[in-house]
Amino acid sequence: MRTSELTTPALLVDAQLLENNIRTMSDALPGTRLRPHVKAHKCTELAKRQAAAGHSGFTCATVREMEGMVRAGLGHDLLLANEVADASRLGVLAREGARITVAVDSDATIDAVARAGVAEVLIDVNVGLPRCGCPPEEAGRLADRARAAGLSVRGVMGYEGHIVGLEDRSARGAMLEDSMGQLVSAAGKVGGEVISAGGTGTYDLNSWATEIQAGSYALMDTAYGKLGLPFAQSLSVLSTVISVSAGWTVADSGLKALGMDHGDPSVEGAKVWFCSDEHLTFAPNSPLLVGDRVRVLPAHVDPTVAYHDSLYVVDGDEVVERWDVDLRGW
Ligand X SMILES: Cc1ncc(COP(=O)(O)O)c(C=O)c1O
Contact residues for ligand X, defined by CB under 6 A = 37, 40, 81, 159, 161, 164, 199-201, 213-217
List, as own/partner pairs, every contact residues 98-102 make where C-beta atoms lie below 8 angstroms and the sequence separation is at least 24, other chains included. Answer: 98/66, 98/70, 99/75, 100/66, 100/75, 101/77, 101/154
Pick 149 or 184: Cβ nearer ligand X:
184
DSSP assignment of 12-25 equals: EEEHHHHHHHHHHH
Helices (H), 262-326: 301-306
Pairwise CA distance, residues 30 & 17, whole Å: 19
With CA atoms as reference, report the closest residue to 229 among 213, 210, 214. 214
Minimum CB distance to ligand X smaller for 224 or for 282: 224
**DSSP 8-state code for residue 298:** P
Shortest distance, CB of residue 260 to ligand X, whole angstroms? 16
Q: Of 213 and 233, which has the nearer Cβ to ligand X?
A: 213
Report how far residue 199's alpha carbon sits from residue 187's, in angstroms, rounded to the nearest whole number: 19
Q: Which is nearer to ligand X, 80 or 241 (CB)?
A: 80
Q: Give the shortest CB-105-to-ligand X separation in angstroms.
A: 12
With contact defined as beta carbons under 8 Å apart, do 272 and 238 qualify?
Answer: no
Q: How far is the CB of 90 from ligand X (least distance, A)?
A: 16
Residue of closest CB approach to ligand X: 199
Q: At closest approach, how far in Å is the CB of 126 from ligand X?
A: 12
Nearer to ligand X, 58 or 282 (CB): 58
Comparison of 214 and 257: residue with beta carbon closer to ligand X: 214
List b or e across 235-265, with b for residues whose CB sees 16 or more CB atoms inside 10 angstroms.
bbbbbbbbeeeeeebbbbbbbebbbbebebb
Question: Which CB, 219 or 319, lies closer to ligand X?
Answer: 219
Q: Where is 312: in which H helix or E strand? A: strand 310-315
| Min CB(288)–ligand X separation in Å | 32
Least distance between ligand X and beta carbon 325 (Å): 16
CA–CA distance, 69 with 66 (Å, rounded to integer): 5
Task: Please choose, from the candidates 125, 55, 62, the residue with its C-alpha nearest in 3D space to the C-alpha of residue 90.
Answer: 62
Helix (H) / strand (E) element for 251: namely strand 248-251
Whether 323 and 311 have beta carbons less than 8 Å apart is answered as yes
What's the min distance (Å) between Cβ of 85 and ligand X?
17
As measured in angstroms, the least distance from the Cβ of 311 to ligand X is 17
Helix (H, G, I), strand (E, B) or coil at 279: coil
